[in-house]
Every structure is written in structure tokens, then in C-alpha cells.
Structure 1
């Protein structure tokens, strides 16, 4: 069956060619400035602009059901409303699914967006839109794998705009690069540096940090290799690279040398190792986040933004059962496997950030690539893909909690007002981080590209 096209969304543009070139010439001058300098250059901007210093992006890979999360429909027909009831929350008038008992008490910190929508039911290409704020090079496709034509992940772009000191990465992804075994393309595009180049790929932290013997594989020294020996090897390789660069000044060699240097700096840094050492957290804190893979990744994200890392992305992990892609057994999966760790980790993160004085300067996003079909599949108690209406959460970073943006219809099948694309959702994050709508950066061929093309949801900001 053919899928509907998103072409009408992709062809819109805010500027004509002359404006594009003028904006590009100006924006490229400021693209590498620190965030505060760029914000000052752009002016104070509209409400909420530049409130956040960091983002924790919780990507619910697979597509959570809107009806079993934050847009329950108790008055819908039985074949739509499902098995669970809505509950009141700390935000007056805002109800969510009863499965989110912990988060319900923190909804005064959270804004719910109930009118997210697009027309791409494919995991891979819609994942690209969610993670980058741009439509994928190949839309409506589960067959197109990552490529250098991809728009950079939001974290890669922030790494380009706000590089960290060498001892910490600017962009961290945990605990894997999202992949779907049923998709011919496998790994979702939009998870790396894309047209910015591999220099801006994420620092990937894999494995299960809830395990007692876990450590960061990328920071693990080879057996018998001391930090001093590592530094000696770095010096030797530095000399070799200098000689090689003198013979070949190609961008590829320079880029490889830069990545190599960054790897050695991270490996030899005590600050880096401490940032990723969860044993530095009290047992009670680790318990509150949940002694599971997702909970400990979310705790790690808090540790990293606390130390200045501007972007941490947590992809829902490989559970061997298709993640949030609940085509079958939707209600048992939501109740027993998916919501409990998600609810515990997110609610604890919000409290923890607030208690540490970090919530106002950290924007937290929770969203999937699409939602689920309002009509339950009676054959296997599942819900199929549904990009036409779904929800997401935003908190912190200047977002006013306790509110709902947009409404869906009586069955959560389509937006009723204030429709929002994944491009707008990403634009809101960029806005909170102080990135102007007109900002452009050059791709590897020197052509100016918009950082984002959606429009921020300004009413969300206090």
C-alpha cells in the first residue's frame, strides 16, 4: 500500500533566494560564536529565547500510543479508548493515563503537546524528522539508511554551535543508535553529524549502566595500558599526523586527526571518567531513577548536563520486543514493560533538576516519531502506526509547566487546533537554547543551510 506524501511540508521556505544568500553571509559570521555572544548579537529575542543551556532529549523509539500516555479519551468507543483510565494531575484540568502515577505529580512542571502530526508512517524517515527538525532526504521510507545527506542531529548541531572543552563531549547519545530490525534500512537516519561531517557525530555510550561491572566502552583502556602510556602514544601519533598533514592537506586527513586528538583527550581525562561514573551517586538517588537501563541512562544525562554538556540524547533501548512499536499486546506491554521505567525516570529527573537549580536552564523533551492508531487491532490487541496525531512533552528551559498546547479530536485521530509538526517541536527546543530562526551554518561544501525550518511554539514559554 502506498504511503501519503509529505512533499507539501518540505517545500515551504521562509526566505527567497536573495534573502537566503544575505542571511547566509551574515549568519555564517556568527555560527561559531558561544551561545551568549550569538544571543546578544541577535538581540534579546521573543519570550523564552535562550533560557536553556542544555537539552536532555528522551526519544521514545517506536512510537508511543497517545491514548495510553498523555491524551486519554475515556468517552471514546471501546474499540478506541482502551483498557486504562485518565487520572488527575498536579496541573489543574490536565489528565493523563493512569499508568503515569509518578509523572502525574510533576505535571505542573510539564507542557503537553497534543497536536503533533505529520504524514510519514515509516520509522526511519520520521525518526530523522524528530531528531533533526528537518524532513528526511527520503521520506515515507523504512529502506533508506543513514547517509551524509542527512541533516545533523540536534545534538550534532549544538556541538557545532557550542563546542565543549576537550575533556567532555558536546553531544552524548545513550545507550545505542536506534535501529529497527523490521526496517530494511535498519538504523534510523538523523542520528549523527550528517552534512556537518563525522567530527560532529555523537559520543556514543553503550551497554547497561545498571549493571555492577558496567563502564563506558569508549573510555575503556586496553588491558595493560596506563594513562601515561596512552599520552606517550598520543604524542607519537601527533608527530606522525603532523608529518602526514604536511604531505596531504586534505580536509579528510585534518578531520581524522581532529577526531583522534579528541579521543585521546577524553581517554586521558579524569574529569571525563568522573562524569560517567555512576558510582559517584548515592544509592538512594540511583534507586529513585530506577535500577534499569533507561533509568540509569537518564541519571547519567543529569550528571552530564550538570557538568556543562549541552546535549544528551537517550534513545529508548533495544528490549528485543520492538520498543514502543506495539502492533500487538499493546496494553500489557505499556503496563508492564514500557511505562513503568519511563514514568519513574522522567518524574525523578524533573524533581532532581529542580532541586539542583538546573530545571530552568535545561529543556527536557519526551517524544516518539509518531503515535498509534486510535482503533485497536482486535486480532492482537495492538495499535498500528499513526503519524496523523500524537503527543510529546516539554519541560524546563523557560517552558511554562501545567499547560496543554493543541487539542486532538474525540478519538485522538487528528489535531483539532494548533497543529504542530516535528519540525516545530525541534524549533521550540532550538529557540529555548537561544538559536535564532534565521541562523545558518555551512555544510561541508560551504553551502549555507538553515539550522532549523520549523517555527517555535512561543505560547509554551512563561
Structure 2
């Protein structure tokens, strides 16, 4: 015992040693248990948040042109944009993020996120799940049931939504890359957890006047009453299929039927998705575009109790944030849209007293190369990228980690995807080292043993 105390610099009570023994039987290492205890002893409030809004900038945004400017770097690295001061002394961001700059005291930025996977599909899997993709460093492997579950699927499995509301919503599409042979990025659904925990997919452009949630539209000839009658018939038939219903697939089918009925008939669900109830001023603040209105809709859903909402950057017809060419032209279009939506969300969460209840995380699958290529673009760069987080009771107005003078590598405090996800789970009161059952009833750990909540945020 004295050796352990000396090694970790902390006293281990008998209960902790018993926990360590139990965890070792489950395959959990002592370092991971101690890490969580250290976070708690430092004042981290386990379970301080109730919900999460996860904004995924598909394609991989340039960190040096957004949250980690390097004005002293050579011209072929620093790029076209100038840095501006923020509300936090000594912290600068791109001139195209003026609204976020004014709210830097309400967010935290991680500048030292790093990994080793330069492929869109497999690195997206890592960012969305915290686990390596079944086939790492690959743009050729499509989604499969071997994938780890999206964090939203795990949260939906372990946290209940108010009756009638979905546990996990993704909008406005399942991210897809036309240049990737595998097409859709893996890790966007429930993977080995089973389809019962797939997200409710909300497609389309909510900035359009006639937009409605396709999944909530009953066929013209099918009223809510007729739907209820048909579901009663299905219930009667199900009673005669006991063998099927006893199986995992049967239970999943029943879950789908119940969810589908509640989604189609619940006034609470329709009200949550009724973005036209927002004032014109509010809608304008978020931006009258697909991204801004999806972020606003995410706030509505989170406010009403949906545990996790994921907003993927939309299909903009320009390869998203994947700026191999004309990087600065694309960012002049993307960044004002991004800046307006995120800053409006931050304001709303604070004005509504939700800043401690809702964790917000914003990132892509990797950063971009420091050196500008001959097409005026930046290529994939896994060694470092930036992340913006806010709310959830986390510390704000801080920058975690730093990069070298060209924003090529983390100079101190390297952070991994799994650490950010471990922090989100911690905020939500979910032990990321616990085991959950997959669809074949096998125990699988949520995050790998190396995952650590980021102490500076808690």
C-alpha cells in the first residue's frame, strides 16, 4: 500500500483498493480508476450536465485559420486572415470569428488535440465514438455493425429522454464524402449496440418555410386515430409471436414500433420540432441558413430533454470543410455561418440558464496542414487540431494546450479524441470505463482504458 501511495502521491482508502480489485477482474486498469478519482478530488462535478449538443464540422476545418492563428509564421503558413483579440486577454482567433471572439469568456478552446489517422471515414469514427475504427486510416470502409456506437447512441442507451421524445437526434444528414470509396462515415449510428439506438435522422433544411420533419409526417390517408388502431392490431399479432419477441431482434422490433408510434402521435414531439415558434429575431441571430437553423433546432430539442443532439455540417456541395483547394475562399463562406450559429447558441444557453445543463462540443475529424499547397488549399493533418467546448458546468475562458510556431504539432498538453468524449461522459454522469452489453449480450467497454476526462475543464 505504501508503494502505491508513493507512486501516485495520494492516499488510497480501503474502499478504493476494493474498487481496484473489482475493476481488475473486469479488465479495468488501476491507472484509469485513479484518473477518475483524481478528477473527482480536484473538484470535478460528476454528472453536472444533463444533455449534450455535438456539432461535427465534417471535412476537417483548418485550425490555423480559425482558433489557433499564427501571425508570426511565414506567409505560406499563416494564410490570408488576420487574428483578432478576444474577450480573454492574450487569446486571439481568426478575424472571421468576431462573435465567438466576443464570447471567448464563455467557451474553452483545446488547441492540442492530436491523433494519427489522416483518413476522413476512419478518423470520423474515432471522433464520434472515441474508439479506433475497425479499419483505421481508411476511406474505403463503409459503416457496419462492427463499428463502435456514436456517443449519442451510448447516451440514449444509458439516459432516458422524456416520454415521446427521441434519445438521440442527428441532423441534417448522415455525413457522406463523395471522394471516399466507403461513402458514409462509420460511427454515426449505434454499431454494435444495435439499431434500436440509432439516431432519429432529421433531414432537410429547416431554414425553408415549408420544411417539416419527414419522419413526423403521417400519410394523407392515415390519421393519428387510424395509426393507433393499426398499432393495436400489431400488438395483438405480437402477442401470438412469443418466440420472436423473446429474441433480441424481436425486442428491438417492439422498441422500434413503440418509438415510431410515439414520435408520430406525440404533441410534445411536434412542438419540440416546431422551429417556426421561435421569434424572427432569434432565427435571424442563428442565421437563416441550414446550419444556423439546425443549431437552433438542437437548442430546442436539448431544452426539452433530448439527451444528445448531433449537428453534422451539411451537404454544401463544396466538400464541406475539406479545403484541399481555395481554402480561404471556402472559409470566407463557412466561417460567418459557423460564427453566427455557435455564438447565438452560447448566448441562448446562458440567457435561459442552461449553461450548466448542456455541454456543447465543436470539432471535425482532423486539422489541416500548416503549409498552403499549390492550389491555395490545406490538406489533411492529423497531428493537431482545435476543439471548442462550452457549458456543462465546465470551466470557461481558458485555452488548453498549445502548438508550435507553425501550428504543426502539440507543444504541450496533448489531448486525444477519447479524452474529450470521456469528459462529455463524465459531465453526463456516465462512467466511460463501464461495460455495456452489445446486441449479442456481450460486455464491451465504452471507451478504452487510456481515456481520461480533461481535468482543466472540470
Normalised to the residue count of structure 2, the TM-score between the two structures is 0.90
Q: Structure 1's 403 and 44: CA in aligned 2 closer, same or farther, altered over 3 A?
A: closer
| 1:103 counterpart = 2:100 | yes
Structure 1: gaps spanning 5 or more residues: 1-14, 25-38
Among 195, 200, 205, the alignment partner of 1:198 is: 195
Displacement, 1:432?
Answer: 1.3
Q: Structure 1's 366 and 182: CA in aligned 2 closer, same or farther, altered over 3 A?
A: same
1:236-255 CA-partner distances (Å, limit 9, x unpaired): 11212222235663221221
Report the counterpart of residue 310 of structure 2 in structure 1. Answer: 313
Report the counterpart of residue 411 of structure 1 in structure 2. Answer: 406
| 1:355 counterpart = 2:348 | no
* Residues 40, 46 of structure 2: 8 Å contact kept: no
1:114-155 CA-partner distances (Å, limit 9, x unpaired): 001111000000000100111111100101111111111000
SS, match of residue 423 in structure 2 = helix
Aligned equivalents of 2:422, 2:188: Cα separation in 1: 17
Aligned equivalents of 1:447, 1:237: Cα separation in 2: 30
* Pairs within 5 Å for 1:281-430: 281-335=278-332, 337-377=333-373, 379-430=374-425
1:246-297 CA-partner distances (Å, limit 9, x unpaired): 5663221221121112101110101100000011111111111111000000
Displacement, 1:210?
Answer: 0.4
Normalised to the residue count of structure 1, the TM-score between the two structures is 0.90
Aligned length: 429
SS, match of residue 412 in structure 1 = coil
* Residues 166, 266 of structure 1: 8 Å contact kept: no
Displacement, 1:310?
Answer: 0.9
Report the counterpart of residue 429 of structure 2 in structure 1. Answer: 434
* Residues 361, 389 of structure 2: 8 Å contact kept: yes
Aligned equivalents of 2:41, 2:290: Cα separation in 1: 40
SS, match of residue 363 in structure 1 = strand
Aligned equivalents of 2:113, 2:241: Cα separation in 1: 50
1:172-231 CA-partner distances (Å, limit 9, x unpaired): 000001110100110000011111100000011000000000000011111122111111
Q: Structure 1's 245 and 17: CA in aligned 2 closer, same or farther, altered over 3 A?
A: farther
* Residues 248, 439 of structure 2: 8 Å contact kept: no
Decide which moves more: 53-62 or 160-169.
Answer: 160-169
SS, match of residue 356 in structure 2 = helix
Report the aligned-residue RMSD.
2.0
| 1:249 counterpart = 2:282 | no
SS, match of residue 360 in structure 1 = coil
* Residues 68, 84 of structure 1: 8 Å contact kept: yes
1:68-89 CA-partner distances (Å, limit 9, x unpaired): 1100000001100000011001
1:348-404 CA-partner distances (Å, limit 9, x unpaired): 000001000001111100100000000000x21000000101101111112111110
SS, match of residue 352 in structure 1 = helix
* Residues 48, 458 of structure 1: 8 Å contact kept: no
Structure 2: gaps spanning 5 or more residues: 1-18, 29-35
Aligned equivalents of 2:445, 2:426: Cα separation in 1: 14
